[in-house]
Amino acid sequence: MEKVVVVGIDISKDDIHTCVKEYVANEGAKLKDIYKRLEESECVNLL
């Protein structure tokens, strides 16, 4: 699991929340894409 470090003094909690939400959404989309590819390939037999 990657660690996300936000550095800054003038960042509001809302900005951090939005940033984290976008990051999680992007990572989730990548995972779904990887899983979909695995389902379509024969690799699924290994899981």
Length of the chain: 47
- Secondary structure element (H or E) that encloses residue 33, with its range: helix 13-40
- Secondary structure element (H or E) that encloses residue 40, with its range: helix 13-40
pLDDT tens digit string along 4-46? 665 655 667 787 778 778 888 888 888 888 888 877 776 655 5
pLDDT of residue 47 exceeding 60: no
Q: Pick 37 or 3 by higher pLDDT.
A: 37
pLDDT at 45: 58
Query: Minimal CA–CA distance to 32: which of 2, 4, 18, 40?
Result: 40
pLDDT at 13: 76
Which DSSP symbol is given to 11? -
Which DSSP symbol is given to 44? G
Q: By three-state DSSP, how is residue 15 classified?
A: helix
